[in-house]
Chain A
Amino acid sequence: MWEWLPFFLEVLVGGLLSGVMYSLVAIGFVLIYKSSGVFNFAQGTMLLLAALTFVSMTERQVNFWVAFSITLVLMVALGIIVERTVMRPLANQSLLSLFMATVGLNYFLEGLAQGVWDSAVHGVDLGISNDPIFLIEKFPNLGLDIIISQFDIAAAVIAGSMILGLTLFFQYTRTGLSLRAVSDDHMAAMAVGIPLNRIWAIVWAVTGVICLIAGLLWGDRVSVSFTLTAAVLKGLPVILIGGLTSIPGAIVGGLIIGASEKLGEIYLAEYFGGQGIEHWWAYTTALIFLMIRPTGIFGEKEIERV
């Protein structure tokens, strides 16, 4: 009666773990949206830019850590420049034009990344083994005969520690406190003397760092090329399910989307006449959740007045 269970669990765990990868992208989104109300569409391209810069350097025989630190500095610099040149002049504009500015930024960075480096497909090797783990060999007494990718677990650990770090940063540091204040109410934060511009610069810089880490993990998984920008499309339904303003939401959303995608592909695809439903299935899942909770699971409910 339960013979379908191991397979189901295997699909579910695989989905949940790949969902963590989506969460990685989603966190960057949430950080910026939370602090400045900007829906940063350039996230995927920042990912590509970071990964491409790193790979191009390591391919030119630059040491791993040197390349990593240079890219890190560049991404932080990029974040600060973006805040200076794009976000600051657009402060107090409508959210739609801020979004469109990031779409423009996205296009700009796409051209820049591929113009400065190239548009070939690169491989990244972070030295994380991609061998599957047979759970029944490691933990025989669980009695579950399922296979889990080692790489996925490593990615999940990295993502988990990043989230933990961010949460601690938000809860226990002075900057984190100002960040929370800014996300609560720009005006009130400015009134008590929090430097808005500096906070935004910090957020964009932190996002740059997240982009680098996510870019490398994604790059190791799917190779570094233009397709990496599609990561943003994986992150979108995730944050929308979780709510645009919630970091835990990004995690929960990622897990939901990851699991739903894989389960849908395995169990539902045959009813839709073939494979490849995962793209729109992720969005349909998000849509179903949003129909029930229009601002996501953890999103703030806006009270509208005339």
Chain B
Amino acid sequence: MYYREAGRLVKSFADDRRMLPLKEDRLLSTLFVVGVMYILVTAFASDYLLSAIFIPMMVLGVATLGLNIATGYTGQLSLGTAGFMSFGAFAAFNLVLRVDWMYIPLAFFLAGVIAGLVGIVFGLPALRIKGFYLIVSTLAAQFFSEWIFNAYPWFLNYTTSGVVNLPPFHYRVFPFQELTPLNDAFWHSSRGRYLITLTITIALIVACKNMVRSSTGRNWMAVRDMDIAANVIGISVAKTKLMAFFVSTFYCGVAGAMYSYCYIGNLDFMIFNLRRSFLVMFMVIVGGLGSILGSFLGAIFVYGWPILITRLGDWIFGGGTLDTAFVENNSKIVVGTIIIVLLIREPGGFAALWNTTKQKLRVWPFSK
């Protein structure tokens, strides 16, 4: 904001290609991540804040980022996000359940890979079908996932109720970690789960940032803008699309695994329904297509609005006055309106608003 790019000359290619070229940016983001997210929040946030605000917002942010890679960066409309999330969640569950030495980060990674492979399968029609016709494939993925985890009880380890409470047993967070009650208590507490979520989220953000500023991401965007033109300049459209589907569903899969392990603490195929797919899509639209920051802003807004309304209602009218139906309908109307208004006024979503604000702040006291 009050620092500028002007007059900074890079002296090496390495400097030129840095992820954050400005020293101030690097300093601020390090301060934010380490100082605020890791130290302040971990030390002072209450259990409620951690497990009902921070964790779900980050998890949904990752899912939104996943959808954004397919829709925002590559232009492939997907309505199966929640389905892909459930593939990740079930893969992680079965990996932890069936592999003795499995530990959480590896389980989440493999869950992402498995979801990604599923994503490639459902992305294959994208090589032939274009535009709106493609939503058939992703919707097939959505309904297929809802059906398969219901029809084959093996995935839920033959639980009769259809819901597995996680963790039904201990999980390792590090390889070869000893499973002691003390360790368990910490990693299953909201603080421990917050740390797991935060670390994975940051790793995924950095990975995504690097993908979209390298040839991978540029190929995605070329295919999005016009696939025939991309083909003409020598980009393999098929490879690019499948890659985008893989990465996108990888992110969704990891988000699904985090959703069940770190956020709600149980595994239930019912929650990964089409409505959740749409919620994630709203997050993408509100936050801004093709923006990493926007993915998280969108997730924060769409997830946070009903909570905010409930809290405000409690604060103004006294506790528990607003019934859930009112809050739900209200947030539907508000989010729906905001989507339409944003599409008309600012198609770039919150991310574009943020950038405009930043630009204005640069010159603010001195000129308009």
Tell whether, in the assembled complex, residue B329 and residue A115 are in contact, meaning their CB atoms are under 8 Å apart: yes
Residues of A within 8 A of B336 (CB): 104-111
Q: Is the CB of B143 within 8 A of A273?
A: no
Partner of B125, one of A109, A272, A276, A287: A287
B282 near A93 (CB under 8 angstroms)?
Answer: no
Q: Is the CB of A114 within 8 A of B133?
A: no
Contact A244 B132 (CB under 8 A): yes
Q: Which of A233, A244, A295, A304 contacts B139 (CB 8 A)?
A: A233
Establish whether residues A291 and B329, one from each chain, have CB atoms under 8 Å apart when the complex forms. Answer: no
Task: List residues of chain B with CB within 8 A of the CB of A89.
Answer: 344
Residues of A within 8 A of B136 (CB): 236-237, 240, 283, 286-287, 290
A277 and B147 contacting across the interface, CB-CB below 8 Å: yes
Is B339 at the interface (CB under 8 A from chain A)?
A: yes
The residue on B at minimum CB distance from A299 is: B133
Q: Does B110 contact A (CB under 8 A)?
A: no
User: Is chain A's interface secondary structure helix, strand, loop, or mixed overall?
Assistant: helix
B206, CB-defined interface residue at 8 Å: no
Contacts A107-B282, A279-B143 known; A305 to B343 CB distance under 8 Å? no
Which of B38-46, B53-61, B224-232, B256-264 is found at the contact surface with chain A?
B224-232
Residues of B312-368 contacting chain A, CB below 8 A: 325-326, 328-333, 335-340, 343-344, 347
**Residues of chain A from 238 to 296 with CB closer than 8 A to chain B in the complex:** 240, 244, 272-274, 276-277, 279-280, 283-284, 286-287, 290-291, 294-296
Q: Give the bracket for the number of chain B residues in contact with chain A.
A: 35 or more
| Nearest-neighbor residue (CB-CB) of A39 within chain B | B132
Complex contact A236–B232 (CB within 8 A):
no
A226 to B137, CA, bound (A): 25
Please, which residues of chain A bring their CB within 8 A of the CB of B332?
Answer: 107-108, 110-111
Whether A294 pairs with B133 at a CB distance below 8 angstroms is yes
Residue A306 is within 8 A (CB to CB) of chain B in the complex: yes
In this assembly, does B109 line the interface, its C-beta being within 8 Å of a C-beta of chain A? no
A34 to B281, CA, bound (A): 25
List residues 44-88 of chain A with CB under 8 A from any CB of chain B.
Answer: 85-86
Q: Which residues of A contact B333 (CB under 8 A)?
A: 108, 111-112, 115
Residue of B nearest to A286 (CB): B136
Please give, as numbers and ranges, the residues of chain B lying within 8 Å of A274 by CB-CB distance: 151
Q: How far is the CB of B106 from chain A (nearest CB, A)?
A: 30
Chain B residues near A101 (CB, 8 Å)? 339-340, 343-344
Q: B331 touching A111 by the CB < 8 A rule?
A: yes
The 0/1 profile, CB within 8 Å of A marked 1, for residues 209-244 of chain B is 000000000000000001011001000000000000
* Per-residue contact bits, chain A 95-108, to B (CB 8 Å; 1 contact, 0 not): 11101110111111
Does B36 touch A at the CB level, under 8 Å? no
* A115–B323 CA distance with the chains assembled, in angstroms: 12
What residues of chain A lie closer than 8 Å to B98, measured between beta carbons? none
**In chain B between 105 and 154, which residues have their CB closer than 8 angstroms to a CB of chain A?**
125, 128-133, 135-137, 139-140, 143-144, 146-147, 150-152
* B335, A296: Cβ atoms closer than 8 Å: no
A205 to chain B, nearest CB (A): 19
Tell me how far the C-beta of B220 lies from the nearest C-beta in chain A, rounded to whole angstroms.
15
Contact of A276 among B133, B147, B281 (CB under 8 A): B147
Q: Is A280 within 8 A of B229, CB to CB?
A: no
Using A100-B339, A108-B336, A280-B140 as known contacts, say yes or no to A115 and B129 having CB atoms under 8 A apart. Answer: no
Q: A121: CB under 8 A from chain B?
A: no
The list of the 3 closest CB pairs from A to B, nearest first, reads A108-B336, A111-B332, A104-B339
| A104-B339, A111-B329 given; 11 more Cβ-contact pairs under 8 Å | A39-B132, A90-B343, A103-B339, A107-B336, A108-B337, A111-B331, A237-B136, A240-B132, A273-B152, A279-B146, A305-B228
B contacts, CB < 8 Å to A: 71, 75, 77, 125, 128-133, 135-137, 139-140, 143-144, 146-147, 150-152, 226, 228-229, 232, 274, 278, 281-282, 285, 325-326, 328-333, 335-340, 343-344, 347
**Mind listing 21 A-B residue pairs with CB under 8 Å?**
A39-B132, A85-B340, A86-B344, A97-B347, A104-B336, A104-B343, A107-B332, A108-B340, A115-B326, A119-B325, A244-B133, A273-B151, A276-B151, A277-B147, A280-B143, A287-B125, A290-B129, A291-B128, A295-B133, A306-B228, A306-B229
